[in-house]
C-alpha cells in the first residue's frame, strides 16, 4: 500500500494514499481498533449539513471568502449525498465527545475541496470547523440524526402497523369472544374490540413520540467548547440555525441554554424512552397474539396465524409463532439499548457529556430494529391473521363469566351460586340456573344477550 504524509499539531503520520482523511482521523483509526461498530454514516451526513450551514453563516459575517464558501459547499454536498461514505472508517468506541468523527468530516471536506480546486486552500480546522467545536456540533448532529430517522423511518412503519390493526379491527368487529383478565375467563368482548385496543395503543405511542420530537429541535450551535460561544462572531448562531432550517426543511431552533445541551442529554434520552415505551407495547401485542394462536388443538387457538415456514426440524406439520418471537426479541434488545442511553445520559461531567457516540449508535439500532420488526410482523403475521370462529364460539358458550350479565337481575350472590354450581357439576350456566330454580329458561335466554353485553360500554 502506498502512503502519503499528513501533518497535525502532533507531527507527521502516514495515511493511505487513496484515502481523503487526514492525520487526526488516521490517529483515531489506529488508536481505537475496538469492536466492529463504526460511527453511523447518518451522523456524518448530519455533521456535513451543519458545516454547510456554518460555511454560509461565516461567509455572511465576512469570516471566509465566497470562493471558500462555494468550494466547501461543493465538498460537503458530496458527503451529504453519500458519495464519500468510504472515507469515514472510525469506530463508535472513540472519544465520548465525537471529536474524532467531527475532525474526520473536517479533513475529508478539506481534501475533497482540494480535489476540486487547490486555490483557495481549505484548512480542516481554520475553515471547515470555523465557528464550531465538536462539543456543540456533535450534540446537534445526534439530535438531527434522531429526528430524521424517527420521522422518516420509524413513524411511517408505525403508521403502517396501525392501519393493519385497524383493518383487522373492522374485519373482526362482529365476532364475540371470551374476554380474559388475570389469564382467567372474563366477560365477553368482540375480537374487533380486542384489536381496537392494540390499534389505539400504537396510535397513542405515535402521539407520544411526536411530542418528544418537539424537544429535539433545540440545538446548541454556536456554543462551541463549553457553551459560551468563544471564537464565534456575534450573530453567527442565529445565522447558522436559519441556514440549517433551509437545508433540512425542519424547524430547528437555538437552545435557550447552550450549557444545558452540552452538559446533558435530557431530550435525547426522553425520545429514546418513548421508543422503549413503544417496544413495551409491541411486546404485549405480539405476546397476546402468540397466546391467542396457541395450539392449534391444545392451546387457546382463537387465532390462526399464517404458515410462513416449517416450525420444527423433527415434528412434521408444526407451525410456530415465529414473527411474535422475532418481534419480542427485538423489543428486549430495544429495552437494553435504552438502558445504555439512559446510563450514558448520566455521564456528563461538568460542561460536557462524553457518552454521545454510544448513545447515538444505540438509538439508530433501536430505530432500525423497531421499524423493520414492525414491518415484518405486519406483513408476515398481522395481515394474514384469521379468526377461528368455531373455537371462539365454543369458548364463549362454555364461559362461566357470562353469569355477570345476570347480576342486575338476580344479584351478585345468586349469580356466583350459579357459576359455582355450574363449575362443580360440569354444567353450562343455563342448566345450572334452572336446576337451582333461580331463573327460568326464558328469563335466562333474555338476559344472556351477547350483543348487548359487548356494546354495554360503547358511547
- The set of cell numbers assigned to 212 is 418528544
Report the alpha-carbon distance of residue 282 to residue 164 in Å, rounded: 14
**Beta bridge partners of residue 186, listed in sequence order:** 179
| Active-site residue (options: 9, 36, 182, 313) | 182
DSSP per residue over 185-232, as a string?
A: EEEEEEHHHHHHHHHHHHHHHHHHHHHHHHHHTEE-TT-TTTSS-TT-
- The set of cell numbers assigned to 402 is 357470562
Report the alpha-carbon distance of residue 444 to residue 406 in Å, rounded: 8
Residues 6+ apart with CB under 8 A from 228: none
Three-point CA angle 104, 108, 111, nearest 5°:
145
**Beta bridge partners of residue 219, listed in sequence order:** 254
Q: Is residue 312 among the annotated active site residues? A: yes
| Active-site residue (options: 65, 173, 307, 312) | 312
Q: Is residue 276 among the annotated active site residues? A: no
Report the alpha-carbon distance of residue 299 to residue 371 in Å, rounded: 30
Q: Active-site positions?
A: 182, 312
Amino acid at each position: 500500500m502506498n502512503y502519503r504524509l499528513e501533518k497535525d499539531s502532533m507531527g507527521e503520520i502516514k495515511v493511505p494514499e487513496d484515502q481523503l482523511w487526514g492525520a487526526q482521523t488516521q490517529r483515531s483509526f489506529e488508536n481505537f481498533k475496538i469492536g466492529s461498530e463504526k460511527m453511523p454514516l447518518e451522523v456524518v451526513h448530519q455533521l456535513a449539513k451543519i458545516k454547510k450551514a456554518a460555511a454560509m453563516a461565516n461567509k455572511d459575517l465576512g469570516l471566509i471568502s465566497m470562493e471558500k464558501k462555494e468550494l466547501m459547499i461543493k465538498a460537503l454536498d458530496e458527503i451529504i449525498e453519500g458519495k464519500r461514505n468510504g472515507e469515514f472508517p472510525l469506530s463508535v468506541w472513540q472519544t465520548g465527545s465525537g471529536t474524532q468523527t467531527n475532525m474526520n468530516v473536517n479533513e475529508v471536506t478539506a481534501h475533497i475541496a482540494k480535489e476540486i480546486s487547490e486555490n483557495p486552500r481549505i484548512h480542516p480546522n481554520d475553515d471547515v470547523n470555523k465557528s464550531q467545536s465538536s462539543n456543540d456540533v456533535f450534540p446537534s448532529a445526534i439530535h438531527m440524526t434522531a429526528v430524521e430517522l424517527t420521522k422518516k423511518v420509524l413513524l411511517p412503519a408505525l403508521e403502517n402497523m396501525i392501519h393493519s390493526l385497524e383493518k383487522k379491527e373492522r374485519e373482526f368487529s362482529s365476532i364475540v369472544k371470551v374476554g380474559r383478565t388475570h389469564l382467567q375467563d372474563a366477560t365477553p368482548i368482540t375480537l374487533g374490540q380486542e384489536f381496537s385496543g392494540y390499534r389505539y395503543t400504537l396510535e397513542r405511542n405515535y402521539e407520544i413520540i411526536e411530542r418528544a420530537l418537539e424537544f429535539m429541535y433545540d440545538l446548541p450551535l454556536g456554543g462551541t467548547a463549553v457553551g459560551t460561544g468563544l471564537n464565534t462572531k456575534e450573530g453567527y448562531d442565529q445565522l447558522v440555525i436559519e441556514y440549517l432550517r433551509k437545508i433540512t426543511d425542519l424547524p430547528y431552533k437555538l437552545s435557550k441554554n447552550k450549557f444545558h445541551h452540552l452538559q446533558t442529554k435530557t431530550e435525547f434520552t426522553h425520545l429514546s424512552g418513548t421508543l422503549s415505551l413503544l417496544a413495551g407495547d409491541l411486546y404485549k401485542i405480539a405476546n397476546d397474539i402468540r397466546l391467542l394462536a396457541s395450539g392449534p388443538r391444545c392451546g387457546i387457538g382463537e387465532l390462526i396465524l399464517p404458515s410462513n415456514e416449517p416450525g420444527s426440524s423433527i415434528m412434521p406439520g408444526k407451525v410456530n409463532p415465529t414473527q411474535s418471537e422475532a418481534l419480542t426479541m427485538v423489543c428486549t434488545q430495544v429495552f437494553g439499548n435504552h438502558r445504555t442511553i439512559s446510563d450514558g445520559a448520566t455521564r456528563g461531567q461538568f460542561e460536557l457529556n462524553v457518552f454521545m457516540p454510544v448513545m447515538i449508535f444505540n438509538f439508530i439500532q433501536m430505530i432500525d430494529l423497531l421499524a423493520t420488526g414492525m414491518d415484518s410482523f405486519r406483513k408476515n403475521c398481522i395481515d394474514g391473521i384469521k379468526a377461528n370462529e368455531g373455537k371462539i364460539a365454543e369458548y364463549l358458550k362454555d364461559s362461566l363469566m357470562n353469569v355477570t350479565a345476570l347480576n342486575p337481575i338476580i344479584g351478585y350472590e345468586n349469580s356466583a351460586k350459579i357459576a359455582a354450581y355450574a363449575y362443580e357439576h360440569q354444567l353450562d350456566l343455563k342448566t345450572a340456573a334452572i336446576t337451582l330454580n333461580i331463573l327460568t329458561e326464558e328469563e335466562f335466554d333474555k338476559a344472556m344477550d351477547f350483543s348487548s353485553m359487548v356494546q354495554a360500554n360503547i358511547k
